[in-house]
């Protein structure tokens, strides 16, 4: 489900949510030492919920925007015995448009949340920590 509204001049609010009720209906996994049924288990790396809220305000050539993103717990294996915890991140940006040029400063993971973007069973790979980037673009 997604909703976007512009309540007044220069404002934009976007919200979306996805619920996934996924499970294996009929899946037999060959582990080399035998075959095990995974029927009824949730596939790995599939969260039940993902939600986003994004708010932006434009004033003249300036735009400020940002919002949180939520991803619920995910399983790291087909047995559902290893769980990667859910997380919330916050991103924001400040942009300026001038003639054919645009400049943007973006902050990512502003809460400096420590999380796994992809769940793994043998090694944890953590997401990037708080970071910032600056970009320049010219249109031809």
pLDDT in tens, 127-138: 889 999 999 999
pLDDT of residue 125: 78
- Here the contacts of 96-99 (C-beta below 8 Å, separation 24 or greater) are 96/61, 96/62, 96/63, 97/61, 97/63, 98/61
Question: Please, what sign has the CA dihedral across residues 132, 92, 46, 4?
Answer: negative
Rounded mean pLDDT of 61-89? Answer: 93
Average pLDDT, the chain: 93
The answer to the question of residue 25 being in a domain is: no
- Amino acid 119: pLDDT: 80
Q: What is the rounded average pLDDT of the residues 51-76? A: 96
Domain count for the chain, please give it.
1
Residue 69 CA to residue 67 CA, distance in Å, equals 7
Q: How far is CA 102 from the centre of its chain?
A: 25
Note whether residue 92 is domain-resident. Answer: yes
Q: How far, in Å, CA of 40 to CA of 42, rounded?
A: 7
- Neighbour count for residue 73 (Cβ, 10 Å): 14
The reply to whether 30 falls in a domain is no
Domain that residue 119 falls in: 2-20+48-138
Q: Report yes or no on 41 lying in a domain.
A: no
């Amino acid at each position: 489900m997604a909703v976007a509204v512009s309540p007044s001049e220069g404002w934009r609010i976007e919200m979306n949510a996805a619920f996934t009720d996924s499970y294996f209906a009929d899946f037999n996994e060959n582990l080399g030492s035998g075959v095990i049924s995974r029927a009824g288990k949730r596939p790995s790396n599939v969260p039940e919920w993902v939600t986003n809220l994004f708010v932006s305000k434009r004033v003249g050539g300036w735009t400020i925007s940002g919002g949180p993103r939520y991803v619920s717990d995910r399983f790291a294996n087909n047995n559902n015995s290893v769980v990667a915890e859910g997380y919330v991140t916050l991103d924001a940006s400040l942009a300026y448009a001038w003639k054919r040029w645009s400049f943007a400063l973006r902050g990512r993971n502003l809460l400096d949340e420590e999380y796994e973007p992809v769940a793994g069973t043998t090694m944890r790979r953590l997401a990037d920590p708080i970071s910032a980037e600056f970009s320049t673009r010219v249109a031809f």
